[in-house]
A = this chain, B = another copy of it.
């Protein structure tokens, strides 16, 4: 899978690319079937909603679940990102976000790279956000909203939101959001919200400003969100636990294209639990 010249230009201009139905229903089924058991675990890597026991985010499933470990090495995802960055990748973050029916709460407008820079000392915004839909995404179950072109603004000053949501987030001011949306076309394209069937994939720039509304519908909206960092751009501080910001910078080797259908062997270093060292954190940077 190679991106065309038009796709590369589109990514540069808009800050995202959408691939509807990139994975087929059979491929997605192996993933979705594994989710309930992962969510049921009482572990640090399951972060729950503010007002309920519903899981908001499961972290690092690729470290202890074979289907997700295979997804983390899927060539349909790895190859285009390698192409855009021109180098090998490692997994910076891996999440299953359950924006569950009736329970899924909002994510305020934010950039992801702000956190990686401030907390993890990632030198440049050369890590790619990838969203893979495990459920159909429609206008009613809290789809991602992007402001096209907002990645061109670079790193935006942000403030730490600890009240609205259950997960600390560097959020962007309303005033700047209005400006960015106006610049992108206001009511005519200033916000976009790619929707599609389970198995669709979104690539989006780590400086692209995004948000999502609550899910009042009876439709679950579980997605995998992961971040693939260019190896030479690896983080320089372990301020956050390893299940949130990974510390293994070994380049990812892709598996064959049918890796969600055949049980290729994969390494599962955390299959017997998170090691204690993964919870140790430090504010001290380390040398490159």
Residues of A at the B interface (CB closer than 8 Å) are 101-102, 106, 108-109, 136, 138-140, 142, 145, 174, 177-178, 181-182, 187, 191, 193, 211-214, 216-219
Contact of A211 (CB < 8 Å), options: B136, B138, B216: B216
Q: How far is the CA of A145 from the CA of B216 in the complex (A)?
A: 10
If A101-B174, A102-B174, A174-B101 touch, does A217 touch B138 (CB 8 Å cutoff)?
A: no
Q: How far is the CA of A138 from the CA of B181 in the complex (A)?
A: 14
- Total identical chains: 2
Q: Which 10 A-B residue pairs are closest in the complex by CB-CB distance?
A: A178-B218, A102-B174, A213-B213, A139-B139, A140-B191, A181-B218, A211-B216, A213-B214, A213-B216, A177-B218
Q: How far is the CA of A101 from the CA of B181 in the complex (A)?
A: 12
A2 to B: closest C-beta gap in Å:
33
Q: How far is the CA of A281 from the CA of B88 in the complex (A)?
A: 71
Main secondary structure of the interface of A (DSSP, over half): loop
Query: What is the chain B residue whose CB lies nearest that of A163?
Result: B51
Query: What is the chain B residue whose CB lies nearest that of A135?
Result: B187
Hey, which chain B residues are within 8 Å of A182, CB to CB? 218
Q: How far is the CA of A211 from the CA of B181 in the complex (A)?
A: 26
Q: How far is the CA of A212 from the CA of B214 in the complex (A)?
A: 10
Hey, which chain B residues are within 8 Å of A138, CB to CB? 187
Q: How far is the CA of A193 from the CA of B140 in the complex (A)?
A: 9
Q: How far is the CA of A28 from the CA of B217 in the complex (A)?
A: 31
Cross-chain contact A218 with B139 (CB below 8 angstroms): no
Contact of A216 (CB < 8 Å), options: B106, B139, B187, B218: B106
Q: How far is the CA of A284 from the CA of B6 in the complex (A)?
A: 71
Seed contacts A108-B216, A138-B187, A140-B145; 6 additional CB < 8 Å A-B pairs: A101-B174, A177-B218, A178-B218, A181-B217, A212-B216, A214-B214
Q: How far is the CA of A25 from the CA of B212 in the complex (A)?
A: 31
Query: What is the chain B residue whose CB lies nearest that of A143?
Result: B139
Query: What is the chain B residue whose CB lies nearest that of A102?
Result: B174
